[in-house]
Structure 1
Amino acid sequence: MSGLKARINAGETVLGTFVKTPAPHVIELLGIAGLDFAVADQEHAPLDLGAMDQLALAARAVGLPLVARCWGQSPARISPLLDLGCTGVMVPHVADSETAENVVAAVKFGPGKRGLSPSPRAGNYGTMGAAAYTAKSDAESVVMVQIEDAEALDRLDMIASVPGVDVLFVGPADLSQSLGCGFPSAQLDAAIVRVIQAARHANVAAGLFVGDESQIAAWRERGVSVFVCGSDQGLVIKGARRIAEAGRA
C-alpha cells in the first residue's frame, strides 16, 4: 500500500524521526536509510519557510513523505507548508475538538478555509487542474494532532472524532509537564494508554514520540502505529559517540 496516509489509515506501523537541521541533505539521507517519513520541526528548530521549501524539495526528490510540525494552528501557518509539497502537518497542543476542526480546515480544501492556487510545488507548478489538485490534496494530506495537555485527556473522544484527523500523536515531554509527573513514569504511561484507547475507538491511529528505537516494540504491542524516534541531531550524536567510545576503549 503506497502513500503515508493510506498506510496510516490501514494500521501499518510507520517510522519517522524529527528533523531540526535546515539542510536538505539530511532529508536525502533519511530517505536513503529507509524511513517511512520525517517530521520537520518548526516548533523547536530554526526552520523558516525558506528552509522548509528546501526540505520539501529534497523530500520529493528522494520520495520521503515530509510532515511539518508547524508553529501554530492557523491557516496562515499551515497552508503554505502544504503548498510547498509537505505531506501533512503535526500540530502541537490540540486540546479540544474546536482546535482540531480548525486544523483540518486549514489543511483541507473541502471545508473552504485553505486558499487555493495550483501554482506551487504541490500542484506541480500549475500543471494540474484545480479540481484534480484539490481532490488529490484532500485525499492524501495527513493530519496529526498532538495530545500534550492534561485537559485534552478528558476530551479525547471529541478530538478523535473530528473528521479529517488521522493521528492522535502524544508529545510525552509536554504531557508529563502538564500532568506534573515524571518522564518516564507510570502516570504518563497510563495517559498514553488512554490516548491509544480513544484512537482505537474512533478508528484513527495513535502516534508517539520515543527517544530510542528500543521503546518501539513495547508500545506497538499496546496499539501505537505511528512512531517518531529521536531526531537527526540525536542520530548524529549517537553515531559520533559510538566512534569516540570505540576508539578510546
Structure 2
Amino acid sequence: MKNRTKELLREGKRVLGTWGMLGDPTTIELAGIAGLDFVLVDMEHTARDLPTIEHMARAADVVGLTLMVRVPDNDPKTILRVLETGVQGIVVPQLETGEDAARAVAAMRYPLNGDRGVCSITRASRYGALRPKFAEYVESADRELLLVGLIETAAGVENIDDILAAGVEVAFIGRRDLSGSLGVHGAAEHPMVLEAQERVLKAVAAHGRAWAGLVPYRKPGEEEWITHDVPFAVYRNDISLLLEAYQNGVRMLGRESASAHGQGGQR
C-alpha cells in the first residue's frame, strides 16, 4: 500500500485536507476531484459506522485520496476494526500522555512493532489475496499508515515531548477544545491558546521526525489565512461548507436564511 499523503509529507511538501462529517461517499469523491490530498472522517462527533467508513474508503481509492478516520476513543479494538476497512490513517482524540500515544501506536502496528491483531481476509489485506506475501503487506502497512494525534488539552500540551517520542507522526492542534481546557471556551485567539499552540509547534520542529497540523484560520476583519507554515493543514469541514453555500444562495436570491427565523443555526 502507498499512502500518498505520507509520501508528500516525507518529501517536505504541504498537504491539504478537510474534515468529513457527512456519511456520503460522494463527498469523498468530490474532495479528491477538487484536489484535496486527504479527508479526516469523523466518528467521534457523528453517527458514522464501519460499513459507511468502508464505502468511503472505496470512494477515496477511486480518486487517489488518502482517507483517515478520527476514532471516538483510544481503544485498540476500535482502531483495529477501523483499520480493517482499508483506511490509510487514524486520528486519535485527546492524547494527553506518552502512555496514551504509545497505546495508539501499538494498536496501529503489527507485531513485533505493535499489538495489532492479524487477519489476512479483510479489505485492508485485499480479502486474502495478499496471503502469499503477507509479511510484505505487514511491513508496508506499518510503514504507510499515518497516526495523527489530537493535542487538544492542557495536559497534551504539557506532555507533547513524550507524545512525540512515543511515535505520533502528526501532532494536530485542536484549538477549540484547547481553549476549553485552558478555561477560555471558544476563544481560539486567546493568548493562552496561542502560547500553547506555539509550544506544540516548537516541540514538533525540535523533534524532527514528526509533522505539525492545524486548521488554518483568519482573524476577524482579515483576509489572509494563517497557517503557521504547518505541513498538515485541514480546511474546514463538509457540513459548514455546504451550509454556507446554501446560505449564500438564499441571500443572493433575496431570502432570509432559516437561522434568521430561529429555525436553525451554524455551529
* TM > 0.5 fold call: yes
The corresponding residue for 1:138 is 142
Gap change, CA 1:10 and 1:96, over 3 Å in 2: farther
The runs of 5 or more residues in structure 2 that have no matched partner are: 256-267
Q: Which residue identity does 2:117 align to in structure 1? A: G
Counterpart selection for 1:236 from 215, 239, 242 = 242
Q: Structure 1: any 5+ residue segments left out of the alignment?
A: none
Asked if the contact 2:218/2:225 (under 8 Å) is kept, the reply is no
- The structure 2 residue matched to 1:190, chosen from 186, 195, 202, is 195
Q: Tell me the equivalent position of 1:218.
A: 226
What CA RMSD, in Å, does the superposition of the two structures yield over aligned residues? 2.1
Indicate the SS of the match to 2:44: coil
Which SS does the other structure have where 1:119 is aligned? coil
Match for residue 200 of structure 1 among 198, 205, 209: 205
Secondary structure of 2:16 counterpart: strand
Match of 2:151 among 112, 137, 147: 147
1:196 touches 1:223 (CA, 8 Å); kept in 2?
Answer: no
Deviation (angstroms), 1:19 = 0.8
SS, match of residue 235 in structure 2: strand
Residues 15, 37 of structure 1: 8 Å contact kept: yes
Large movers: runs of 4+ above 4 Å: 211-217
The yes-or-no answer on 1:160 pairing with 2:168 is: no
TM-score by length of 1: 0.92
Q: d(CA) in 2 for partners of 1:210 and 1:179?
A: 20
User: What displacement does 1:217 show?
Assistant: 4.5
Match among 166, 173, 184 for residue 170 of structure 1 = 173
Q: Tell me the CA shift for residue 185 of structure 1.
A: 1.7
- Secondary structure (helix, strand or coil) at the match of 1:218 reads coil
Q: Quick one: structure 1 residues 2 and 125, their matched pair in 2 at CA, closer, same or farther if it must change by over 3 Å?
A: closer
SS in 1 for 2:125: helix
Do 2:216 and 2:225's aligned partners in 1 also have CA atoms closer than 8 Å?
no
- The answer (yes or no) to whether the contact 2:105–2:114 under 8 Å persists in 1 is no
> Structure 2: which amino acid aligns with 1:143?
L
SS in 1 for 2:159: helix
- Say whether 1:116 aligns with 2:118: yes
CA distance in 1, matches of 2:217, 2:178: 15
Letter in 2 for 1:225: P
Cα distance in 1 for partners of 2:67, 2:3 equals 15
Distance 1:99 1:216, change over 3 A: farther
Partner of 2:72: 71
Partner Cα distance (1:90, 1:65) in 2? 13
| Greater Rg by CA | 2
* Alpha-carbon displacement from aligned partner over 1:64-100 (angstroms, at most 9, x marks no partner): 1001000111210101111111110110000011110
Larger proportion of helix: 1
Amino acid at match of 2:82: L
Name the aligned partner's letter for residue 147 of structure 1: I
How many Å separate the matches in 2 of 1:201 and 1:75? 29
| Aligned-residue offset at 1:138 | 0.7
Residue deviations 1:159-200 (CA, integer Å, cap 9, x gap): 11223x210001111111001122222221111111111111
Q: 1:217 to 1:195 in 2, by over 3 A?
A: same
Looking at both structures, which has the greater relative contact order when contacts are Cα pairs under 8 Å and sequence separation is at least 6? Answer: 1
Structure 2 equivalent of residue 25 of structure 1 = 26
Contact 1:11 1:205 in 2 (8 A): no
Count of matched residue pairs: 246
Following superposition of structure 1 onto structure 2, how do residues 40-79 of structure 1 map, counting pairs within 5 Å?
40-79=41-80
State percent identity of aligned pairs: 32
Shift of 1:9: 3.2
SS for the counterpart of 1:15 is strand
Q: Distance in 1 between matches of 2:217 and 2:42?
A: 15
